[in-house]
Structures are given as C-alpha cells and as structure tokens.
Amino acid sequence: MMKLQRIKTAIAAVWVLSAIVLLIGSAHVTSTTDRMVLTLFGILPPLAMWFFWNDPSQTLSESIHVVRDEGRATRARTRID
C-alpha cells in the first residue's frame, strides 16, 4: 500500500512541477483569467487523482492471513492470562 502512495505522490509532484514550468514559460499570457485556468489545470488533476484513485481491494489470500494472525494473537493472549 505504501508503494501506491509513493507513486501517487510522484505523479502529482511531476504534474504540478510541469504546470509551474508551463506557467512560468508562458510569459505571453497576461490576463488573470488565463493564468487562473493554467493554475487550475496544474492543481485539479492531481487532487482528483489523489482522492479518486482508490487502493486495490484486499485479496482473498490477504484476508485469510489477517484472520489467521488475529487468531494467533487471541490464542497468545489467552495463554498469558
């Protein structure tokens, strides 16, 4: 799961940096509206990706491992008590 978070962060960072370079390089854009459009173009897609790109669902094998680990922890606590 942590790897997916790093990928999302890297993609968002590259997108925003490229939009900043585009904004700086567009010296001929003088109107405030055009600059706002470029700014939104740089910010909205990474935000949408961050909130709507869901982590993959848990596989059956992972679910089984979680239940087994919980069972082991319960048995270990019962022995200690």
Model confidence over 10-31: pLDDT tens digits? Answer: 888 888 888 778 777 777 777 8
pLDDT in the model for residue 79: 60
Q: Please state, in angstroms and rounded to a whole number, the distance separating the CA atoms of residues 23 and 46.
A: 16
Residues 73-78, mean pLDDT to the nearest whole number? 66
Query: What number of CA atoms fall less than 13 Å from residue 12's CA on the CB side?
Result: 17
Q: Kindly report whether the global pTM for this prediction surpasses the value 0.75.
A: no
Residues 6+ apart with CB under 8 A from 12: 46, 49, 50
Q: What's the pLDDT at 75?
A: 66
Q: What is the pLDDT of residues 43-63, one digit of tens each?
A: 888 888 778 877 777 788 888
Q: Are 50 and 13 in contact (CB under 8 A)?
A: no
Rg of the chain's alpha carbons, rounded to an integer? Answer: 23
What is the residue extent of each domain of the chain?
Answer: 2-80
Question: What pLDDT score does 2 carry?
Answer: 63
